[in-house]
Structure 1
Amino acid sequence: MALPAPSAKGTVPFGEYKTWYRVTGDLGCGLPPVVVVHGGPGSTHDYLLPLARLAEEGHPVVHYDQLGNGGSTHLPGRGADFWTVDLFLAELDNLLTALGVADDYVLYGQSWGGLLVARHAAARPAGLRGLVVANSPASYPLWLEEMAVLRSQLPPGVNDTLLRHEAAGTTDSQEYYEAMTVFYEKHVCRLKPWPREYQASFYEVYNDPTVYYAMNGPNEFHVIGSLRDWGVEDCLPDIAVPTLILSGRYDEATPKTVQPYQDLIPDARWVIFEESSHLPHLEEPDAFHEALTTYLKSL
């Protein structure tokens, strides 16, 4: 399906750096824009471009690339101590202010972006009207527990191959990549071939993996970066806006990793897409669009 054309593209200064953004629709239309926060960390906006369809319902949509990837400033020489949650929270605040939407907006965070927007929302910013947490674990320790379960259910020999290369430090080998792809095709994107939008972000990560490797690790299920002990469970009771939680039945973000959002956010409801894994906006686009537009109308 053809996406609506962007109404604006550009960059905003973020200290000495730049954050790239894309707007679809009219930011002055009177409805709060949906600001889309991508996963990774270290991915790009591309795989979430289908959310631009919301502009056809009247809600302007803001996509952006987080620092270190895509159209934003790349910093391949920066070490792990530079890439922090606080850095990306500050970047989000800066973007909202620079675009003039900080007094009236909705946040959509997918995967790592879901944790980021939850932390942002817990500070109770005055302009936040609603929150969508999509395919996101509430903590990385929970995520790692469930990764072990999902890995054990892969076809015979696949996890043995993964474990062997992880122990040897050879996660850049072709054999490891092929075994990794088995997991991705089951729990990240079940469509074959992978949609163009997802392929674009997937390859962007590996074109400059600085952020992803520093904060996450070599892939989705082997988290050895700085986020491995981090989570947002402690702040979820402080979220004071209506929250929509989304996940897929085959999602790498399993129900156990998502449950704290439902249990701890005071006003939350959870939709599970029965034919999806980690990307229901691509895997079940019509059902996804209906769930999201229904939520936005309820605000």
Structure 2
Amino acid sequence: MLRFLVALSFGLLFASPVFASEPTLRDYHANANHPDAWQGGVRMIPIHTPAGDFRVWTRRVGNNPRIKVLLLHGGPGATHEPFEVFDSFLPADGVEYYYYDQLGSYYSDQPDDPKLLNIDRFVDEVEQVRVALGLDKDNFYLLGHSWGGMLAIEYALKHQDHLKGLIISNMVSSIPAYNKYANDVLMPELGAANLAELRKLDAAKDYANPRFEELLVPHYEHHVLRRPMAEWPEPVVRGFVRHLNKKVYVPMQGPSELGASGILVDWDRTEDLKNITVPTLVIGARYDTMDPKYMEMMSKRLPRGEYLYLPNGSHCSYYDDQDAYFAGLLKFLHTTDDAKQGG
């Protein structure tokens, strides 16, 4: 079950003021004009889909009229929960941010309908969430991690006129490129005998076999989150194991961690990156499941792209290289904000 991992982030840094004057703790936690205040920032947002109307869960943290970050979690079918580590750092920096469980994820409605499992529908869902939350080009930053990074790229290609900035965290712009990196670089690290056994189990679709997980443990601990799995953060285990919706994950990603094989298998937007003109930060890490050199290349194809390289991080670099991750993220947010104000 732990093969279904992809995760999100952690912060630090006190940067320049982001309010009209030096913000106070009272400013950041003020509840005036927020209809969600009476229930702790939570809103269940109505979503219209081809399969009917449903609701998705969001939660606002803080107030900042110029920097509002919507977080797109990994999976597909995982949850916002690994992002809970943001609570340790973003409030101290004055950043407003929104947790959000996509349709089919644990805190949102979970319709069981294959018509809902396509990336265009997810993009439309994000746009409906944006409208409901009142985010716009003067304050709206979109951060997507792993699958959420795919979704963020697709959203920007269709709706970048609503964006102030974009963050693509630990995700390449091509699933074929990811599969090639996994096949050529990551899987051989397991050793010939272990890899042969894994491929045999994969061919038999014997994913419930405990041996399948045992063989992948070194991969998880080296490339997904660089700690012994017994020490993995509780929000990560909760969001990507206990609360993962396999009815979303398996059809879209595929059942095996030996590369993607589901609905998204042919997804590739590398040639379209040149069309994303908003300020964009691409985050990659040395030990990532995604090729860090490919992510660096992406940043150069983006007209206003920049690259944050994390030398100690893996796919969950917001946990295992968190100081560098959050310093870079917050620098990007404030630099983009300052440039917009100056412009």
Q: Are 2:41 and 1:8 aligned? A: yes
Confirm or deny that 1:212 pairs with 2:249. yes
The answer for the alignment partner of 2:122 in structure 1 is 88
Equivalent in the alignment of 2:278 = 241
Q: Deviations over 1:207-239 (max 9, x none)?
A: x31110010012443321100111221321111
TM-score normalised by length of structure 1? 0.92
* Residue 196 of structure 1: how far off its partner (Å): 0.9
Give 1:178's aligned amino acid.
E
Aligned to 2:234: 196
Within 5 Å, give how 1:176-195 maps onto structure 2: 176-192=212-228, 193-195=231-233
C-alpha deviation, 1:82, in angstroms: 2.9
- Residue aligned with 1:11, SS: strand
The root-mean-square deviation of aligned C-alpha atoms, in Å, is: 2.2
What is the one-letter code of the residue matched to 1:115? M
The answer on whether the counterparts of 1:141 and 1:228 sit within 8 Å (CA) in structure 2 is yes
2:72 aligned with 1:37: yes
Q: Which residue of 1 aligns with 2:325?
A: 288
Count of aligned residue pairs for this structure pair:
294
Given that residues 132 and 243 in structure 1 are in contact (C-alpha distance below 8 angstroms), is that contact kept between their aligned partners in structure 2?
yes
CA distance in 2, matches of 1:147, 1:19: 33
| Cross-structure match for 1:167 | 203
- Maintained 8 Å contact 2:202/2:256: no
3-state SS, counterpart of residue 224 of structure 1: coil
Unaligned runs of at least 5 residues, structure 1: none
- Other structure's SS at 2:90 match: helix
Contact 2:60 2:99 survives alignment (8 Å): yes
Give the secondary structure class of the aligned counterpart of 1:230. coil
Separation of aligned partners in 1, 2:302 and 2:98: 25
Q: 8 Å contact 2:145–2:170 — kept in the other structure?
A: yes
Q: Deviations over 1:162-219 (max 9, x none)?
A: 101011111221111211222211111112311111111121454x311100100124
Secondary structure of residue in 1 paired with 2:278: coil
What amino acid is the match of 1:157?
Answer: A
Runs of 4 or more consecutive aligned structure 1 residues displaced over 4 Å after TM superposition: 1-7
Indicate yes or no: 2:104 matched with 1:68: yes
Larger radius of gyration: 2
Report the secondary structure of 2:43's partner residue. Answer: strand
Q: TM-score, normalised by structure 2?
A: 0.80
CA contact 2:281–2:299 (8 Å) conserved in 1: no
Q: Which runs of 5+ in 2 are unaligned?
A: 1-9, 13-27, 30-36, 337-343
Kept in 1, the 8 Å contact 2:160–2:278? The answer is no
Change (3 A) 1:258 1:220: farther
Give the CA deviation at 1:157.
2.5
Identity over aligned pairs, percent: 28
Counterpart of 1:175, as a letter, is: R
- The whole-number CA distance in structure 2 between the counterparts of 1:201 and 1:179 is 22
Give 3-state SS (helix, strand or coil) of 2:226's partner: coil
Deviation at 1:121, TM superposition (A): 1.3
Q: Is the 8 A contact 1:122 1:240 kept in 2?
A: no
Pairing of 1:245-256 with structure 2 (within 5 A)? 245-256=282-293
